[in-house]
């Protein structure tokens, strides 16, 4: 059983769904199966002993050397009231780099998921507006993947409107 009470509570509530738990010098990390990410995030936010009410960050990471878990979605959460933080990871296979969106748990996750989609290529199911955020619509590929050719340039075929007409 985990020594840290936060990790112990998570492992108890999600027995069999947690891939790993780690407490390294007070930095808590939990890896979870991708089909349980929304349930886990909701639990972390709503449980009175945890209260991870502040979504801090989400990023997509590319590990091309890992077979079967080439991508990872990483959440950073904080409890304002209880003053603890946790990192939640979701490993994803390159052949199916898709996970459920957590925008219903924390509305602020919306643009972070769009950024991970745009730059790394991770798709978020049920996202209300999953489209490129930082690169233009004609951009080919995902610029933060480690196998992306850094010298490649994508020019627009026509001027890009700064303001879109409705």
- Map out the domains of the chain with their CATH numbers: 5-125 (3.30.460.80)
CA distances in angstroms from 53 to 105, 115, 159, listed in the order given:
10, 22, 42
Q: Is the pLDDT of residue 1 over 60?
A: no
Q: Is the pLDDT of residue 47 over 70?
A: yes
How do residues 87-132 score in pLDDT, each as one tens digit?
999 999 999 999 999 999 999 999 999 999 999 999 999 999 999 9
Question: What pLDDT is attached to residue 166?
Answer: 62
- Determine the average pLDDT of the residues in 129-138: 90
Q: Is the pLDDT of residue 157 over 70?
A: yes
Q: Is the pLDDT of residue 2 over 70?
A: no
CB-CB contact of 118 with 133 (8 Å): yes
Q: Is the pLDDT of residue 48 over 60?
A: yes
109: enclosing H helix or E strand: helix 109-120
Question: What pLDDT is attached to residue 159?
Answer: 78
Question: What pLDDT is attached to residue 86?
Answer: 98
47-56, 82-91, 113-122, 133-142: which range is least confident on average? Answer: 133-142
3-class state of residue 4 by DSSP: coil
Task: State the chain's mean pLDDT as an integer.
Answer: 93
């Amino acid at each position: 059983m985990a020594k840290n009470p936060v990790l112990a509570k998570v492992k108890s509530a999600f027995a069999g769904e947690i891939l790993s738990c780690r407490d390294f010098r007070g930095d808590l990390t939990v890896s979870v199966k991708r089909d349980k990410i929304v349930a886990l995030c909701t639990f972390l936010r709503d449980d009175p002993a945890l209260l991870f009410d502040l979504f801090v960050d989400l990023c997509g990471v590319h590990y091309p050397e890992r077979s079967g878990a080439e991508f990872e979605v990483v959440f950073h959460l904080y409890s304002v009231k209880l003053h603890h933080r946790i990192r939640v990871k979701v490993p994803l296979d390159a052949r199916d780099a898709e996970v459920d969106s957590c925008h219903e748990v924390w509305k602020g996750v919306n643009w972070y998921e769009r950024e991970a989609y745009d730059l790394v290529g991770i798709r978020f199911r049920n996202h209300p507006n999953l489209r490129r955020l930082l690169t233009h619509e004609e951009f080919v590929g995902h610029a933060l993947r480690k196998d992306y050719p850094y010298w490649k340039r994508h020019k627009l075929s026509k001027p890009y409107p700064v303001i879109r007409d409705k």
